[in-house]
Structure 1
């Protein structure tokens, strides 16, 4: 089935580069519409073009649920931690947005909009805790149907070895239900770290086809009771 053009126009007319648009407008409705079209926001700080960049990588990083590489050492690490979902979203977001992290991009607008989407049940966090009750790792992302668009993850370099990987393992386990084959975890760009965990690259057109299938399946069993479009 052909995709109908959305707010970003037909995908075949997008430029052959990762950045496909920019805007000064940025709100919850625009963000959700973008993800449903295979686009995600990332600020264009000091670019002179606009406040927000809208990206759809030509080579998209995705993690098939059955491709996650769980080593013996990761299984061992997982036994040292406890994971939760949506119990400390603000803390996970703050840790991911720590300005001391290299290549930081999570600004006040991102925090405002994604916090609002979390309150609406569209953004979720996975937290990793050590035996002393410290938050030592986690991740957050957008959930639409069978799509989980991972936004950022962190681990405590002192107390949280493998803690972000353990959060990812917990996420994949939650998504691995009867619709697992149609679900996708979007990781935006493949990195050496993500490649080691099983992420692969697919061309933009293939990603959009996978996305169409994913959006047609129900949400996974998140602990929040209500979700709103």
Structure 2
């Protein structure tokens, strides 16, 4: 495992251990974060612990044409009970992702330091959000890093049933329209699998990431 200091550097993703951890340490300044995502790396760690940088193999992704929208979900979308916006309330979205309770988790990996870092990236137009509203109240959303041809999803939240799915589907529809190649979902979970995401080899992921739009 590599230990990072002030130098703006990451080792090749092939150096990651079996868990997918590539490096430890460093900081969350915007330049390091931008280099990380462009290199197929992302931070994921608990508050109060050193920063861990990940490049897992396999990688959970969504090929945009493989999105699964259930019949019941289509019915919900057709009712127009939600309004979707893009990149209108980034800080509110990431703050809700931090606060939302999740099954099997006692805390959150989204620290205040991380919120500050990603808000700076949002100001640069790199970190973006999708918001879902119901009666003018923010009830769901997601955020991630936009690399122009790959969108790296980071976290999503839902305060009412299906709100995060609405955000996810809206994001995929936008990415398809803009000819993105992939939605990066990082690591496996069954909820993502139900939406059509699947695991691919890290080499395949890196090939797509390093190709141009």
TM-score under structure 2 normalisation?
0.88
3-state SS of 1:124 partner: strand
| Equivalent residue, structure 1, for 2:5 | none
| Equivalent residue, structure 2, for 1:59 | 58
| Equivalent residue, structure 2, for 1:76 | 75
- Structure 1 gaps of 5+ residues are 1-5, 218-229
For residues 7-156 of structure 1, the aligned pairs below 5 Å read 7-45=9-47, 47=49, 51-78=50-77, 79-98=80-99, 100-101=101-102, 102=105, 103-130=107-134, 132-156=135-159
Deviation at 1:26, TM superposition (A): 2.2
| Equivalent residue, structure 1, for 2:183 | 185
Of stretches 76-85 and 12-21 in structure 1, the one that deviates more from structure 2 is 12-21
Pick closer, same or farther for the CA change 1:99–1:176 going to 2, 3 Å: closer
3-state SS of 2:156 partner: strand
- Structure 2 gaps of 5+ residues are 1-7
Q: What is the distance in 2 between the residues matched to 1:32 and 1:116?
A: 11
| Equivalent residue, structure 1, for 2:208 | 210
Pick closer, same or farther for the CA change 1:89–1:10 going to 2, 3 Å: closer
Give CA-to-partner distance per residue, 1:51-95, whole Å, 9 cap, x none: 211001111100111111011211222222110001111111111
Q: What is the distance in 2 between the residues matched to 1:34 and 1:129?
A: 32
TM-score under structure 1 normalisation?
0.82
Deviation at 1:147, TM superposition (A): 1.2
3-state SS of 1:8 partner: coil
Q: What is the distance in 2 between the residues matched to 1:100 and 1:162?
A: 16
Q: What is the distance in 2 between the residues matched to 1:19 and 1:178?
A: 32
Q: What is the distance in 2 between the residues matched to 1:212 and 1:153?
A: 26
Of stretches 77-86 and 95-104 in structure 1, the one that deviates more from structure 2 is 95-104
Deviation at 1:14, TM superposition (A): 3.3
Deviation at 1:120, TM superposition (A): 0.8
3-state SS of 1:33 partner: helix
Query: Over aligned residues, Cα RMSD in angstroms?
Result: 1.7
